């Protein structure tokens, strides 16, 4: 009898989780600006396949932008039309252009997930060898991580950050 209660409780939790799953709007990046309409005074999330850095922006004080790893959170404070924002995928450096508009009629706050379109075989970067990473490259990366602006930091694909397990 206890087994049935545990199973039915687990089944109910699973069904509740599925019922509250948020819908996501998928947009394919095909080298044309991605049009996004923002509602006023509401937050909208845009996720990318990799971590991003903001390269260029026409947004002034009209929009609050918060960047966390592979996500951008937008909160429009005033109405505006067709402002460009260029983000760069890290570490491969591909630039994605967003065309943002905000107005009072917009009410869609569905999160957007940007997916990459099909790549041509000619566009693939040449494979790197492990000999490309040496002490000089690692030292340069460490110094740039500490002292350079985030928009200029390029992480080589062979280098991954690992948290240090330190104890107090």
| CATH number, residue 64 | 2.60.40.1080
Predicted pLDDT of residue 74: 93
Structural domains of the chain, count: 1
pLDDT tens, residue by residue, 89-116? 887 788 999 999 999 888 888 999 999 8
**Percentage above 70 pLDDT, the chain:** 75
Give whichever of 43-47, 51-55, 117-121 has the largest mean pLDDT. Answer: 43-47
Residue 162 lies in a domain: no
Q: What average pLDDT score do residues 22-32 get?
A: 87
Over the chain, what is the mean pLDDT?
80
- The span from the CA of 68 to the CA of 54, in Å, is 11
Location of structure tokens 């602006």? 149
At residue 60, the pLDDT reads: 79
Q: What is the pTM of this model?
A: 0.61
The mean per-residue pLDDT over the stretch 9-24 comes to 60
19 found inside a domain: no
In angstroms, rounded to a whole number, what is the distance separating the alpha carbons of residues 118 and 77?
A: 36
**52: in domain:** yes
Q: What is the predicted pLDDT for the residue at 18?
A: 47
Which residues have CB under 8 Å from 85's CB, separation 6+? 54, 56, 57, 58, 59, 65, 97, 98, 100
Residue-range definition of the domain harbouring residue 83: 30-118
Residue 40 domain flag = yes
In a domain, 60, yes or no: yes
Percent above pLDDT 90 for the chain: 26
Question: What DSSP letter does each residue of the chain carry, written as one string?
Answer: -HHHHHHHHHHHHHHHHHHTPPP-EEEEE-SSPEEEEEEBTSEEEEE-SS-EEEEEE---SSEEEEEETTEEEEEE-S-EEEEEEEEEETTT--EEEEEEEEESS------EEEEE-PPPGGGSPPPPPGGG--HHHHHHHHHHHHHS-GGG----TT----------
pLDDT tens column, 120-135: 545 555 555 555 788 8
Specify if 143 maps to a domain: no
Within-domain flag for 136? no
Predicted local confidence at residue 70, as pLDDT: 87
Q: Is 46 within the bounds of a domain?
A: yes
User: Which residue is listed with tokens 């009072």?
Assistant: 104
């Amino acid at each position: 009898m206890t087994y049935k209660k545990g199973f039915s409780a687990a089944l109910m939790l699973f069904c509740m989780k599925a019922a509250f799953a948020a819908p996501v709007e998928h947009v394919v990046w095909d080298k044309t600006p991605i049009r996004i309409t923002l509602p006023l005074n509401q937050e909208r999330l845009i996720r990318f396949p990799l971590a991003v850095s903001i390269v260029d922006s026409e947004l002034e004080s009209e929009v609050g932008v918060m960047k966390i790893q592979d996500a951008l959170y937008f909160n429009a404070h005033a109405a505006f039309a067709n402002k460009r924002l260029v983000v760069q995928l890290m570490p491969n450096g591909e630039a994605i252009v967003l065309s943002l508009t905000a107005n009072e009629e917009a009410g869609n706050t569905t999160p957007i997930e940007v997916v990459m379109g099909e790549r041509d075989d000619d566009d693939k970067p040449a494979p790197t060898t492990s000999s490309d990473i040496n002490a000089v490259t690692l030292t340069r990366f460490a110094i740039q991580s500490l002292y350079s602006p985030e928009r200029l930091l390029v992480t080589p694909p062979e280098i991954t950050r690992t948290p240090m397990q330190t104890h107090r």
